[in-house]
Amino acid sequence: MSKTLLRTLAIAFVSLGINLNSYGQTEIIGSRLPSELVVDKNYGNHEDVQITLNGIFPNGCYQKGETLVEKVGNEIFIKNRVVFHKDTMCTMALIPYSDSIQIHNLEIGKHIVFVKDKFGNYQQIKSFILN
């Protein structure tokens, strides 16, 4: 390629705001509330449940991250982590996601499920009873 063409491409990248050094970087932007949370009480043993988180991302720059779970007594705390790909070209379409987690050795009785929101607060989403 000629020097003129390379210089023109470099100017085009700069004017479009494309930073080639940070292309593809990701960052975890915290937890998000799912649009739906389903509890399957017929999973495995009678003291096990499967919880499915369903949601929609606004575009292709978002990706489902790791789901973290903590049990405290009869309360279940979930961090539904989301990853954001910055400085990239993104699909401009709604992107559905689904993630299932298994929780074992729950005691008989009422259980309450909380999910951490984007502000860092846990919101009560659902409760269920194991017989």
Mean pLDDT of 42-59: 88
Report pLDDT digits (tens) over 3-21. Answer: 665 555 444 444 444 433 3
Mean pLDDT of 78-98: 91
- Using CB atoms within 10 Å of the CB of residue 95, give its burial: 0 to 12 exposed, 13 to 18 middle, 19+ buried: middle
The verdict on residue 47 lying in a domain is yes
The number of folded domains in the chain is 1
pLDDT at 112 over 80: yes
The verdict on residue 52 lying in a domain is yes
Q: How confident is the model at residue 78 (pLDDT cuts 50, 70, 90)?
A: very high
The verdict on residue 6 lying in a domain is no
Strand partners, 84: 27, 62
- Tell me the residue range of the domain where 99 lies: 24-130
6-33 as b/e, with b when 16 or more CB fall inside 10 Å?
A: eeeeeeeeeeeeeeeeeeeeeeeebbbe
Residue 15: what pLDDT?
A: 41
The verdict on residue 11 lying in a domain is no
The verdict on residue 19 lying in a domain is no
More confident residue, 99 or 4: 99
The verdict on residue 17 lying in a domain is no
The verdict on residue 16 lying in a domain is no
pLDDT at 118 over 50: yes
Residue 42: what pLDDT?
A: 72
Q: How many CB atoms lie within 10 A of CB 50?
A: 15
Smallest CA-to-CA distance from 79 within 106, 43, 118, 40 is with: 118
Rounded Cα distance, 27 and 49, in Å: 31
The verdict on residue 92 lying in a domain is yes
